[in-house]
Structure 1
Amino acid sequence: MYAVNATPAEFVADERVLAPGSHDIADAAEAMQRIDAYLRQRLAAAVERWPGRPVLQLSGGIDSILIASYLADIAPAALAVTYSSGDADEELERASRVAALYGFEHCVVQPDVEEFDALLAGTVRALAYPEPWEIAAGVVLVAVDRAARERGADGALLSGAGADALFMGGKRIQPRAGERLAAAWDEALRANVSRNFTRRRFIPDFYERLIPQPERHIQVWQTHAAVELAQGCDPALFQRDGEESDKLLFRELAVERGVPADVANAGKNPMQVSSGVVGDVVAAARRRLAADFGERTYSSPLDEDLEFTVARLYLERLRGEQR
């Protein structure tokens, strides 16, 4: 049994070879009890380690919603922060409902065009890597951390990171002919851990480049104990035939803890998309092209088909390389 502690994130793939899991916890009540115990211990340890006012990155997805339900017991004065471009209305509405349900102060970060451009430029400089998923995650993290600090919330910065990797968020595992779901699920789980729970990613010092005291950022599910828990649970508790929703047990547990069923069972895109950051980056690219080229184009970069904008960016890059 691995201890549940306040480490920001544990690089499981770098520290051990992951053997196949047993997936023998088939009783929903028992699995819920174990998830309940894990979340209580993990959040309590994080709050104790960082005694300032805790911050929850509340996206409106089931992972952060479930964490909110436990944080309300452990640190009711925590600040909930949601990043939104203003277009992600459904996610923002759910986050607002959850914050109100549990009595959290709710800070919504919605940068205007100038603020977003500055935030994006700063994140690109800090990360020095042109991967949209990393940049989008960085923009949200920086904005959430700044908003929290402005409100005096400098305790643990909590996110549901890691849950998708362990419990197949946004995926549906299809066993091969003659293969059991548990075997296919565990293969995918171990591949996710190998790919995501490691420092050997695109930007190993991602958090160190972006926020002060990066060790405050607690990725709730990226731990040895969470991997052990996930490998013990029967995947049929999270994915069932005839139901399209992912992480079913999380959703059922959230409802048991008082979250309205329509909120707990709503789907959600990955944070980079649901926050609106990727769309805002595209809009920023269009504005830059329109400013650079003015009226010297057949179609306006502000509203032309996206394929023309991509082609225009690439051609401009080729032109720059030939100078």
Structure 2
Amino acid sequence: MTVSPPLLVAAPDLAAARGRWLAYLAVERRMSPKTVEAYDRDVTALLRFLTGHLGAPPGLGDIAALAPRDVRAFIAARRTDGLKPRSLMRALAAARAFARFLEREGHGASAALAAVRGPKLPQSLPKPLSPDAARRVTDAESRSGDLREPWILARDAAVLALCYGAGLRISEALGIARKDAPVSGRDSLTVTGKGQKMRSVPIIAPVAQAVEAYLALVPYETGPDGPLFVGARGGPLSPRIVQLTMQRLRGALGLPDSATPHALRHSFATHLLGRGGDLRSIQELLGHASLSTTQVYTKVDASELMRVYQAAHPRARA
């Protein structure tokens, strides 16, 4: 049986530059392996398209020579492949990042990639839980009918308590080392977020108590530098397990499909804002690089206020 060679999607000079770019993203930009993989996947799709579009694997000069019609043809092809607007924007952003890297290396600027506008994104607002629903999700008592081991139930409650009580991403919560466990006596926790940026978040008493309840029951000792949260066999806890836990809770508590672990982070921000929290402080707590990213919560809060008004005000239905 003859095995076909892998499809060549770039000339040797461009393929070598692509390798240097990926190393730059991982080492100098300190992007996570999954982010680097996503960038590579999008740029590989561009190179594969250009191979067919140009009739041969593209080289360094072909990227700088791209015309707007070439970029539009690429976007159209990816849309035909089934990519949604947000994924198309990500693919275009990856192509632009690669082109900027090539320009810094002295291989010419690709004006077409910068000039062509991406698809318009639908306005999508975060979907936070109500304060009562968020409390029930993070309360271990909500799992009283669950037949899993008590330490696992306590673990799940502690992870979700960190997502809601400290506004952490799942990856940030699962990245905490045992020695840094946010327990009583610690009023803050340093976490590493996107782009390896570090920030300090306050730890409130219910979160510390949830972590302490978990530590009192967990049967594994991972050492001070080992992960705080472990799986059923003692290895690092997978984010997928946390997602499945939330899925189980949705059914048990009658919550909508939008109730995900990340929705607890949205709830953290929305509830703080609703209680008079300062937008700039919330930005710092969430670890957002730009205030504009945090400002979306002002729209969420306003829409919630309008919903309450329409439902409760005596004149709303007049």
Fold similarity call, TM over 0.5: no
TMscore range, shorter length: under 0.3
TM-score using structure 2 length: 0.25
Higher helix share: 2
Larger Rg: 2
